[in-house]
Amino acid sequence: MSETIRLAFVFARVGVMTFGGGYAMLPLLSRELVEKRAWLTEPEFADMTAVGQCTPGIIGVNMATYAGYKRAGVRGGVAATLGLVFPSAVIIALVAALLRGFADVPAVRHAFTGIRVAVCALVVKTAVSLLKSSVFGSSGGLRRVVPAVVFAAALALALFTNLHPAVLALASGAFGIAYSRLRAGK
């Protein structure tokens, strides 16, 4: 029980500190779950982001449910999700009730222009650390070349086509299965 409550609190804290959507949550989650508590390893964290992106729903909620389940089963998944959304619901209800013109206040607008730049830098940092563990983390030779090629191909498709992220995720998963079968068959 105490573990469930702890999960809810950890995710509530992540929810309060996330500005600018699910991707802005990644560096916070990586700090809380990987660096500080070691609840997930770097590869498990990469799995979580992959699952979060290729399933329906809000990415942040998907990741919270996944991490919570890994830690404490179904109860953990539910607790992490409720923890994550609780602060949002409270804050939005307050904002909606009290400050309808909140986003029009010039100081608020300036602050958010600044925050958006910080979100950019934080997403870059997350991409760099994931890149280190999932592409350059493996030992040399083909083990390194294949993930690098998948990364480059997926990046090009994500940037230059309108393919849905879920399509890319499914295609790369299928490629991974085919490739590992091919290698095992040799």
Partner 1 sequence: MTTLIRLFGEFFFIGLVSFGGGLATIPFLQNLAARTGWFTLAELADMIAVAESTPGPIGINMASYAGFGAAGVAGVVFATLGIVTPSVIVILIIARALSEFRASRDVEGAFSGLRPASCALITAVGIRLIRASLFAPEFDIKAAVLFALLIPATLKTKLHPLVFIAFSAAAGVIFGM
Restricting to residues 9-28, name those near partner 1 by CB under 8 A: 15-23, 25-28
Is residue 103 at the binding interface for partner 1, with CB under 8 A as the rule? yes
Looking at residue 175, the DSSP 8-state letter turns out to be: H
Instruction: Please identify which residue in 1, 38, 114, 139 interacts with partner 1, judged by CB under 8 A.
Output: 114
SS3 at position 72: helix
* Cβ count near 1 (within 10 Å): 8
Between 4 and 18, name the residue whose CB sits nearer to partner 1: 18
Q: Does position 34 bind partner 1 by CB under 8 A? A: no
In order of 36, 145, 163, the CA distances from 178 in angstroms are: 36, 16, 21
Identify residues 123-142 at the interface with partner 1 (CB under 8 A).
123-128, 130-131, 134-135
Taking the CB of residue 127, how many other CB atoms lie within 10 A of it? Answer: 13
Residue type, 34: V
Question: For the CA atoms of the chain, what is the radius of gyration?
Answer: 19
For the bound state, the minimum distance from the C-beta of residue 6 to partner 1, rounded and expressed in Å, comes to 19
Answer yes or no whether residue 177 interacts with partner 1 by CB under 8 A.
yes
Q: How far is the CB of 32 from partner 1 (least distance, A)?
A: 10
Is residue 8 close enough to count as binding partner 1 by CB under 8 A? no
How far CA 40 is from CA of 33, 48, 75, 162, 169, in Å, comes to 6, 9, 18, 32, 21
- Residues of span 41-70 touching partner 1 by CB under 8 A: 43, 46-47, 49-62, 65-66, 69-70
The residue (of 5 and 118) whose beta carbon lies closer to partner 1 is: 118
Rounded to a whole number of angstroms, the minimum distance from the CB of residue 72 to partner 1 is 12
CA distance 172 to 170: 6
| Minimum CB–partner distance for residue 34 and partner 1 (Å) | 12
Report the C-alpha gap between 6 and 79 in whole angstroms. 9
Told to check if 95 binds partner 1 by CB under 8 A, we report yes
Tokens 């493996």 sit on residue = 138
Show the binding pattern over residues 142-161: x = contacts partner 1 (CB under 8 A), - = does not: ----xxx-xxxxxx--xx--
